Amino acid sequence: MPPPGLGVCRLDRGAPCGDRDKNTKVSECPSPAYPGCGRARPGGVRGLTSSSRPTTGRSRGVVGPHDPRVQYPGGGTGGDAAAPRLTVLIPTRDEQESVPLLLDKLGRELAPLDAEILFVDDSDDGTVHEIASLAPGCPVPVRLLHRPPGERTGGLSGAVVAGTRVARGAWVLVMDGDLQHPPHTAALLAHGDARGCGHRHRYPLRRHRPARGAGGPRSAEDVDARDPPSWFGPSYWAQPGMRIPLLGTVGNHSMTATYPSVWKQSALAASSGGVFAMVDYPSYLGSNPVSYPTTYYAFTTGGIRFYVLDTAWGNSNTGAATGGTCGSHCEIYEQDAHFHWQDGSAKYEWLKADLAAHPTGPKFAFFHFPLHSDSASEPSDTYLADLERTLADAGVDLVFNGHSHIYQRNTTTPVSYVTGGGGADVSSVGAAGCSSTDAYALGWSYSRNLGSACGAAPVPTDDARVYHYPKVSVNGTSVTVTPTDALGETFDVRTYTVTP
């Protein structure tokens, strides 16, 4: 199901939502020549710089709805415009590559609403300039608060609090900037749930108002925007993190230094001779030389050897790669395979050596790009054919992939799953046909408002049937995979006898 953290809160600093003028728009829609937020006007916005410190006596990082540090890269100041009903607050940090698609999708979804987009940016890359160049093409106002080094107090929670202070809407919806919160579902949540606070997809949805008394937040109804609530800060993760190890590998939307600095698996990687660090890559087929997070390592627990691998490449750094017969969707696959998955590459040679050193026992592998996918927009990565044979020859039992925003189980060797229904908008399956090894697949089309399926799967009647997570239970040599959808119902439950 979609990840936690997406929710709507109400700011009781003015008239209730129902008393606001719902017909007042803060800015006019863009001209037909620029229909989407993700399409920059020629030349973009010039001369955008980091926000200045406040000139008033307020403390550092504290801003008001019309604070001079808040920029309007789309033009104007917003000082004379009626406040919108909704502010979509997006904290960002080094997410330059995600901004074009995020603004394109979110802008279109918010266009019918009385809304604004507010970025609170802690980036050191080109995120600010990307926002500035794309903001003029948005059908809703885009506002930007860039917090320079020294003002980034509180990390993510501090960004949320700072954004709440400058939000002009009666309601605030907080969402991630890396597309892990689906813009379509966020818009549905904002459109319907700002009135009734009901939702179908089990997001933590809270209607907020300032806390009463001196004891701090006592419930979801009592949250003081002047102090970061405990569930925004480190204590929110303390219990889950202490009880359940969270181990990850990169995908194509996490190709920045932020990833290894947050997940910090270098010690675990080193114990298996793997890598968890930023690695420099030269140009290939005209791509830019770049430093990317590179993650591959292995460990054994519960009698299972886990291989956490790295199949990823930045979307905008493909150079003259063509993607072969697959086309543009596979350009990132081509670059990834060249650097990571050909004989002689450090990663591939490490994997083959570790597999040879562990010839017996069950083995699972996890990596981002899918071996087999019937999604037209995120199809099978045929450049990984040699990797698949290597895993099969070494007795790997199960492979779990992402990237494609669908559910799919493949009767291949090894058996592989695509479990991409936990973040951004899910997508349809089988538009170009269902492969012969596709035993069960689920997808959804938002443009057609229609489900799709392959193999033995029933056609889903709601996208909540596609959002999912798989629970994998191990009992000796018996392994059961239990996918669970966003409604809490299980489907396609399979039990395997794995290599002893």
User: Measured on CA atoms in the order 231, 235, 237, 239, is the torsion positive or negative?
Assistant: negative
As a whole number, the mean pLDDT across the chain is 77
Q: Which amino acid is at 398?
A: L
Residue 305 in contact with residue 363, Cβ under 8 Å? Answer: yes
Q: Quick one: 425 and 277 in the same domain?
A: yes
Distance CA(229)–CA(210), nearest Å, equals: 11
pLDDT band at 453 (very low <50, low <70, confident <90, very high): very high
DSSP letter string, 364-415 = EEE-SS-SS---SSS---GGGHHHHHHHHHTT--EEEE-SSSSEEEE-SSSE
Q: Quick one: 387 and 256 in the same domain?
A: yes
Q: How many domains does the chain have?
A: 2
Q: Is residue 372 part of a domain?
A: yes
Domain range for 322 is 244-497
Q: Quick one: 205 and 304 in the same domain?
A: no
Residue 192 confidence (pLDDT): 55
Q: Which of 229, 255, 272 is the last residue of a domain?
A: 229
Distance CA(141)–CA(441), nearest Å, equals: 39
Q: Is residue 237 part of a domain?
A: no
**Residue with tokens 């909704």, as numbered in its chain:** 86
Q: Quick one: 132 and 254 in the same domain?
A: no
Distance CA(61)–CA(54), nearest Å, equals: 8
The two structure tokens encoding residue 69: 């540090």
Q: Is residue 2 part of a domain?
A: no
Q: Is residue 239 part of a domain?
A: no
Per-residue pLDDT for 27 more than 50? no
Residue 157 confidence (pLDDT): 80
DSSP state of 71: B
pLDDT tens by residue, 268-290: 899 999 999 999 999 999 999 99
DSSP state of 319: T
Q: Quick one: 49 and 151 in the same domain?
A: yes
Q: Quick one: 154 and 273 in the same domain?
A: no
Q: Is residue 236 part of a domain?
A: no
pLDDT tens by residue, 254-266: 899 988 888 888 8
Q: Quick one: 292 and 203 in the same domain?
A: no
Q: Quick one: 139 and 89 in the same domain?
A: yes
Q: Is residue 1 part of a domain?
A: no
Per-residue pLDDT for 492 more than 80? yes
- Window from 7-11, 237-241, 453-457, 458-462 with minimum mean pLDDT: 237-241
Q: Is residue 234 part of a domain?
A: no
**Residue with tokens 């350009």, as numbered in its chain:** 331
Q: Is residue 426 part of a domain?
A: yes
Q: Quick one: 193 and 294 in the same domain?
A: no
CATH code: domain of residue 353: 3.30.750.180
Neighbouring residues of 2: CB distance < 8 A, sequence distance ≥ 6: 180, 181, 182, 185, 201, 202, 203, 422, 423, 467, 486
- Rounded (5°) CA angle 47-50-55: 115
pLDDT tens by residue, 128-185: 888 988 988 889 899 999 998 888 887 788 888 889 888 888 888 998 887 777 787 7
Q: Quick one: 253 and 338 in the same domain?
A: yes
CATH code: domain of residue 36: 3.90.550
- Please give the C-alpha separations between residue 320 and each of 55, 280, 285, 330, 340, in angstroms, as whole numbers: 49, 19, 5, 12, 18
Residue 252 in contact with residue 405, Cβ under 8 Å? Answer: no
Residue 307 confidence (pLDDT): 98
| Better-scored residue on pLDDT, 475 or 25 | 475
Our measurement of the distance from residue 168's CA atom to the centroid of its chain's CA atoms, rounded to an integer in Å, reads: 26
Which residues are bridge partners to 86 per DSSP? Answer: 115, 171
Q: Quick one: 130 and 248 in the same domain?
A: no
For residue 50, the tally of other CB atoms under 10 A from its CB is: 14
Q: Quick one: 172 and 276 in the same domain?
A: no
